[in-house]
Structure 1
Amino acid sequence: MTINPTFSDATPVAPAFLDDVRAGLSRPQKTLSPKYFYDAAGSELFEAITRLPEYYPTRTEIGILDGRGPEIAALLPAGAALVEFGSGSTVKLRRLLRHLDKLAAYVPVDVSGEFLCAQAETLSADFPHLRVEPVVADFTRDFDLPESLAGLPRAGFFPGSTIGNFEPEEAEALLARFGRILGSGAHMIVGVDLVKDAKTLETAYDDAAGVTAAFNMNLLTRINRELAGRFDLGAFTHRAVFNRQASRIEMHLVARDAQDVAVGSDTFAFAAGETIHTESSYKYTVETFRALAERAGWRWIQVWTDADGLFSVHALRLD
């Protein structure tokens, strides 16, 4: 079955990508947005990360969805359209689908159109009675849902602790944006990683096989390919460290030596040991996430965690 996605009217990705790279590499602490990890290669690498023995979040969240799926599904309205922001693969969605027999439509939203459509087509083939209406969009920007969903109750799905990739004030604004997109009366199911010891966290983001390092380095590969970048990949290395004071894991790309790097018509100087901060993954307690969600306008309903307290899944409602 061929899936025809809806394309948002937001600013095209390429100009935004170039503008963001220029701005990020011009800062005293050089930065690159983690949303640009997810081209087709980056999406595939992230899926490989989720299968690593060191990377506990995916299997732990799946365990919660498997064990508490009926309870989670019972909170969502019958006949709803389920909108998954930054959908990636459908592994977690499938865990819920077995309990959502009255779901009217599934709307995966992702910036990587090729990967999105491939996943949507596979899901549609496996669930032929489910309407699958993918939207190619950057979920950090406002976008419209397909008109065909008019009149349906709305629910959002944001698993994987992706919310942790945003600064807390940005995460609050993002949840508020989801509320505007979904509308009054909507529900949200959000996966949130919890605070824990530094060793567990740092190992999860710097695996022995080097898959996370390749995922991080792919960002430079993408800049070289799409923005006429001149990064020497061998001149940078991956680093992951837990910043306990800020309650976040930080991923960096570290310059091995002093160098100048061209991106398009711009040149950026790196000192030896200087880093590009590519991702922050904030870790919350149940209480701190609840407070954040409520500041964003959502009513917190319930939380489910695993027995070891590694991960949490929260249910929210917009009244």
Structure 2
Amino acid sequence: MQPIVFIDGDQGTTGLQIHERLRGRTDLRLLTLPEAERKDPARRAEALNACDIAILCLPDAAAREAAALVRNPAVRLIDASSAHRTDPQWVYGFAEMAPGQAERIAQAQRVSNPGCYPTGAIGLLRPLVQAGLLPADTPLNIHAISGYSGGGRAQVQAFETATEGHRPPALQVYGLGLQHKHTPEIQQHAGLSTRPAFVPAYGAFRQGIVLTVALHLRQLAPGTTAGTVHQALARHYAGHRHIELLSADQAQAQQTLDPEALNGSNQLRLAVLGQDAPDQVLLAAVFDNLGKGASGAAVQNLDLMLGLGAV
């Protein structure tokens, strides 16, 4: 029998992308509500309790309310909001994050999909903390630029319906109070004991992310080099098909980083740059904020929970 999947919030940016990725698949059945019933609490509750797996593509408060509506113990949840990402009762849905994480996702009743920016930051930092190269209390500065779709429907409308003379700035740095909601998620799942400084930005392109972390080698374990860092990442991600680590030669050849390079995919590309710098190293991640940073990861987690996926 085909498993039934219900996307609660399938008209939002992430929900639409998940629906598109699942459309046409014959190994599952999508449960959808007519437009007139999408905001009807009773019909939503009915759908949430009638499916095998529900994917919540809602604002944080609405995601918490939707999770509370589930009374059927057989229903499993994937939450694409940030409501449960630091909740120990939910399994964090970054399958490549740690050994055994994909198996934990596959068996979980409740999975919290990672945030877009945290996917890049955790993907770069956690392997180094686990390897003992990066002390957990290192003060870090993380910079990232995302396509405007990262701001949801409001930002998409602002950019795509703007008239001449009323367009948003080509670059908008935000989170200036250093209290971005993704920071606790990054700290917890990267294994950091010191809260990192995280400075995000939106650019005048629809989707894609470049995230960078610049490090002084003196911040790392004695004797650590760019090559040591690269080897640690290579060991951590060996055999993971959705993670691409540029070789030392490929990284050295990079002159620029294109945030749109992996759009439409579920790939996360990592690089260790600045290999010729005598005392510094630059970590970089490139991926699609609507792919590995949202809908792609949700579908990957769905497949793991259905016993159909591999990492």
Q: Given the two structures, how large is their TM-score scaled by the length of structure 2? A: 0.28
Q: Given the two structures, how large is their TM-score scaled by the length of structure 1? A: 0.27
